[in-house]
Amino acid sequence: MSAPAATAAWSAIRAIALNTFREAIRDRILYLLLVFALLLIGASRLLSMLTVGSEDKIIKDLGLSAISVFGVLTAVFVGVSIVFKEIEKRTVFTLLSCPVRRWHFIAGKYAGLLSVLGLIVVVMSGALCALLALRGEAFLPLLPAILLIFFELAMVTAFAILFSTLTNPMLAALWTFVAYVVGHLTWSLELLQARMPEGPGRVLCDVLYTVLPNLEWLNVRGEAVRGALPATEHLIGASAYGVCYALAVLVVACMVFERKEFI
Amino acid sequence: MSVMSPRPESSGSRAADPGSAAIRIRGLAKAFPGHLGIGRKVALPGLDLDVPSGEIFGLLGPNGAGKTTTLKLLLGLLRPDAGEIEVFGLPHTAAEARARLGFLPENPYFYDYLTAEEFLDFYGRLHGLDASERGDRVQRALRRVGMEGRGKTPLRQCSKGMVQRVGLAQAIQHDPQLVILDEPMSGLDPIGRRQVRDLIQELKAEGKTVFFSSHILQDAELLCDRIAILEKGSLRFSGALRELLPSQIRGFEVTLRGANLENLPAEHLWAGEEETTLLVADAVELERLLAECRSRELLVVSIWQRRESLEDLFLRELGQEPGGES
């Protein structure tokens, strides 16, 4: 790509990302989800009182789960309609009549939504860390887990955008949830593969294990709650896996959108 | 029905020079899957069209004629099955070609969570305008569409007419050489329509090419240098409007008032309680009728020249004229 083309691409992607960010942060649903998440983090203090001796673990566990679950809900509910709405309301007609390539549009939408998710993760993590700091607890061991939650959200968002280019929001949400659930069960394929005899079944397990998302690899919440830090190699490997997998899904989304006809 | 010009511009006085064509379409074909994916429904069998630079060009036709399909193909929203489209000599999908055009869709809906200024700023960014010039351009574009001082209005609070104007501002703010408008008068009140007409003529005066689709024939007749009429995807008619609509008078409608209106030398058109309107074919017959009126002491209320309108031409070409060949 030539320098002027790269500048134009960057300018278009940034403009679309900013517009997507504006759209999301001016949407009341986002605030509703955020308030629920913050309430849950706050309530974890109350729930921890019901147990003996492990209050901080419960606060950390519930807090990290709230960040993950509400992040995923935002990624799914905002992500699945993000492309569909532009097509349905025909705003994409004027947008694509500008010197904007179709992949700029997908990349811009993705970057905008990821910025919103980044902001949400920062706000929720800030609330959780503040709660722990008030109790005199260390919150630094939580940061790697939070980083990997963000990369998990990046993968889920890429799936949401891909399905948004293919179908209506309802089906796109369903398929994104399926991808999320499958992503957390992929580890079982590895177990199954180890127990299977040599043959096509084992090859199939191997292929599925390689191709399907492995979101459990990005889950280090257990260690974080115990106050342990994940190995640096794991942190780097899992982060790189999240980024590469999200990019691969996004490339497929761009290819689907490139072939789309706006009848 | 006769096809006056099976190929573009053959009836026009100015043959389009490919070097000066803002839009050049050759053999453009598009078909869509039929019901339940069975068969193919041909929308455009093979369209040839030239839109010369610096003119106002109207793409006309009844619903389902292929106007919107042509515009979508031109904008790259649909992929042609065959044929080619050039914008200022460039492939229509090239970024350089897109940078030189502005587009307003029919019945536009825009991001209602933005204000008019934010919306125009967004499109300015997409056209690669610098931050330093975007502010000025936004205000200038708003002024041109009669929205001065309303830039902070959220689009969700704008009427349909205001949204249409903001859409027009979006289409012209980056100073494009080609402005493509899909039904630009749709949803506008008479004042808004007049403003849009004036704006289109201003754009032409600035040397821009305006290519618009419309089914409001009066607007097309007032504005267009050149028109094309599509029917079922085929070009029925194309050429310069001033040649397609001859300026010679096709008759006179004379409205009279008086008692003795029997057996006047004219065709009877309409009769009211007090007034009667008659039609004569030419100036000689008019003079004869007026002489008769004077002799019978009839009052001549009005005399109107009758010329062929674009609507007459349109209906005749589509075989819709009462008694017309179909």
Query: Which residue on chain B is closest to A8 by alpha carbon?
Result: B128
What are A39-89's pLDDT values in tens digits?
A: 877 777 777 777 766 778 888 888 899 899 999 999 998 999 889 999 999
Per-residue exposure over B21-44, b if at least 16 CB sit within 10 Å of its own CB, e if not:
bbbbbeebbbbeeeeeeeeeebbb
B151 neighbors B117 (Cβ within 8 angstroms): yes
Q: What is the pLDDT along chain B (326 residues), one digit of tens a residue?
A: 333 333 333 333 333 344 479 999 999 999 998 877 788 889 999 999 999 999 999 999 888 889 999 999 999 999 999 999 999 999 999 999 999 999 999 888 889 999 999 999 999 999 989 988 999 999 999 999 888 889 999 999 988 888 989 999 999 999 999 999 998 887 788 888 888 899 999 999 999 999 999 878 888 888 999 999 898 888 888 888 877 776 667 788 999 988 887 888 888 888 888 888 999 988 889 999 999 998 888 899 999 888 777 777 777 777 765 444 33
- From the candidates A87, A91, A92, A94, which should be mutated to test the interface with B, based on the most B CB atoms within 10 A? A94
Is A97 in the B-facing interface, judged by CB distances under 8 Å? yes
Distance from CA of A151 to the nearest CA of B (A): 29
* Residue spans per domain, chain A: 3-184+219-259
Place of tokens 């036709």: B61
Dihedrals phi, psi of B42, to nearest 5 degrees = -75, 120
| Amino acid B11: pLDDT | 35
Q: What ipTM does the predicted assembly reach?
A: 0.87
Residue B207: which residues within 8 A CB-CB, separation 6 or more? B53, B54, B177
> What does each C-alpha distance from B72 to A57, A83, B66, B76 come to in angstroms?
58, 19, 10, 6
pLDDT at B258: 84
Q: What is the pLDDT of residue A146?
A: 96
To the nearest whole angstrom, how far is the Cα of A89 from the nearest Cα of chain B?
A: 6
**A18 has a chain B CB within 8 A of its CB:** yes
Q: What is the pLDDT of residues A82-119, one digit of tens each?
A: 899 999 999 999 999 999 999 999 999 999 999 999 99
Nearest CA in chain A to B172: A98
CB contact under 8 A, A99 and B96: yes
Name the token pair of B11: 């009836």
pTM of the model: 0.84
From chain A, the residues in CB contact with B92 under 8 A are none
Distance from the Cα of B313 to chain A's closest Cα (Å) equals 30
Q: Which residues in chain B have Cβ-Cβ distances shorter than 8 Å to A91?
A: 109-111
Q: Note the pLDDT of residue A52.
A: 66
